[in-house]
């Protein structure tokens, strides 16, 4: 299967505004709304693209951690499957390095991380060792990553329509959410474009009630919405993660410089032997060196300690993936890890 330019253009529209209405998307792409809806149905049914909502991982609200795992190679498949089944472990990747697996974990606190994740790690047969780096500041996340398909007039119109429809409103309301609101999150994880009417039918609630709850969830800032594409169809099939050291007091400056590199999927300050993590999607293994040169030119004071190329992504922000990087359709929902009101 290959994606057409029209498919990629639609995906970029939804990368920018994952919940944008089809009527507005049609104005940007010059295609009828019903055609776009049908195209999106085809993309999601094939696992080539999907919209999801996941916990933001903002260290000011919750805990985000990067965990390196070593395991018995004879039990690697079993260890990987068990790790992928833990809701708080949102991403599982097989690595080509001195570590076997790389995990991304989101929980509501350090205490919950220890109780609900670390406790399970200790009970997995074949898991030999793990090392944790805690995120202290999330600078860039994958919801900001874009394909480069739309032209400047399309991008300008998209920004205008997104702003007019309120798609730019984020982090407008702080504070914890009651359980009635958190009940919506599993539905948004499975379909980030789910409407209040669709969720209301599933929950047996009045649509008007769910709409109010949905509006508050969207305004709370605890979720990031993103349109994902199967990496094999993105023209960037290689994932590389760097562990680096940045001088104290220069993290914000470094993060600003890294934001100008278009391939970056994540940048974060962390605890541990190194204090900065960068993840990029690249076109080839040769681009690992090109990316390192770009990083050194942009941030001369940064010391790249280690680079890790991922062999396979088993799970990405809750979604289980097939060998060809398409979505399997199975979502491991983080219900137990949501920030809830006391």
Question: How much is the pTM?
Answer: 0.92
Structure-block tokens of residue 5: 């330019």
Average pLDDT on 197-210 reads 96
Q: Tens digits of per-residue pLDDT, 204-238?
A: 999 999 999 999 999 888 889 999 999 999 999 99
Question: What single-letter DSSP state applies at residue 109?
Answer: S
Tokens of 23: 């009527």
Token pair belonging to 162:
């997104």
* Coil/strand/helix, residue 152: helix
Q: Give me the pLDDT at residue 166, please.
A: 72
To 5 degrees, how large is the angle CA 110–CA 112–CA 114? Answer: 70
Q: How confident is the model at residue 169 (pLDDT cuts 50, 70, 90)?
A: low
Q: What is the Cα–Cα distance from 338 to 196, expressed in whole angstroms?
A: 20
pLDDT tens for each residue of 317-338: 999 999 999 999 999 987 534 4
Q: How far apart are the first and last CA of the chain?
A: 48
- Is the CB of residue 89 less than 8 Å from the CB of residue 57? no
**Predicted confidence (pLDDT) per residue in 108-126, tens digit:** 899 999 999 999 999 999 9
Of the candidates 223, 242, 221, 219, the residue with the CA atom closest to the CA atom of residue 299: 242
CA–CA separation, 107 vs 62, rounded Å? Answer: 6
Nearest residue to 220 (alpha-carbon basis) of 165, 176, 162: 176
Quote the tokens at residue 54: 């996941």
3-state helix, strand, coil in the chain (%, to 5): 40, 30, 30
């Amino acid at each position: 299967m290959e994606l057409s330019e029209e498919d990629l253009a639609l995906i970029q529209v939804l990368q920018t505004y994952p919940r944008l209405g089809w009527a507005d998307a049609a104005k940007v792409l010059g295609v009828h709304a019903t055609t776009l809806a049908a195209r999106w149905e085809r993309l999601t049914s094939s696992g080539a693209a999907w919209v999801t909502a996941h916990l933001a991982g903002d260290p000011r609200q919750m805990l985000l951690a990067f965990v390196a795992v070593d395991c018995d190679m004879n039990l690697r498949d079993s260890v990987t499957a068990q790790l992928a089944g833990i809701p708080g472990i949102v991403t599982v990747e097989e690595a080509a390095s001195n570590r076997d697996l790389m995990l991304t974990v989101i929980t509501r606190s350090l205490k919950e991380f220890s109780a609900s994740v670390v406790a399970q790690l200790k009970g997995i047969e074949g898991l030999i060792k793990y090392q944790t780096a805690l995120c202290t500041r999330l600078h860039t996340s994958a919801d900001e990553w874009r394909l480069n398909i739309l032209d400047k007039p399309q991008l300008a119109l998209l920004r205008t329509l997104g702003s007019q429809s309120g798609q730019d409103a984020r982090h407008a309301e702080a504070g914890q959410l009651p359980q009635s609101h958190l009940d919506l999150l599993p539905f948004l994880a499975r379909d980030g474009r789910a409407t209040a009417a669709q969720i209301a039918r599933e929950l047996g609630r009045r649509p008007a009630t769910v709409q109010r709850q949905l509006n508050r969830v969207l305004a709370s800032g605890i979720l990031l919405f993103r349109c994902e594409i199967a990496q094999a169809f993105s023209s960037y099939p290689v994932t590389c993660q760097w562990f680096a050291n940045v001088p104290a007091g220069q993290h914000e400056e470094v993060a600003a410089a890294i934001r100008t590199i278009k391939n970056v999927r994540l940048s974060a300050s962390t605890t541990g032997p190194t204090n900065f993590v960068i993840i990029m999607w690249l076109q080839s293994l040769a681009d690992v060196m090109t990316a390192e040169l770009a990083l050194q030119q942009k941030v001369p004071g940064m010391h790249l300690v280690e680079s890790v190329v991922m062999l396979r992504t088993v799970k990405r922000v809750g979604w289980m993936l097939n060998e060809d990087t398409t979505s399997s359709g199975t979502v491991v929902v983080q219900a137990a890890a949501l920030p809830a009101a006391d």
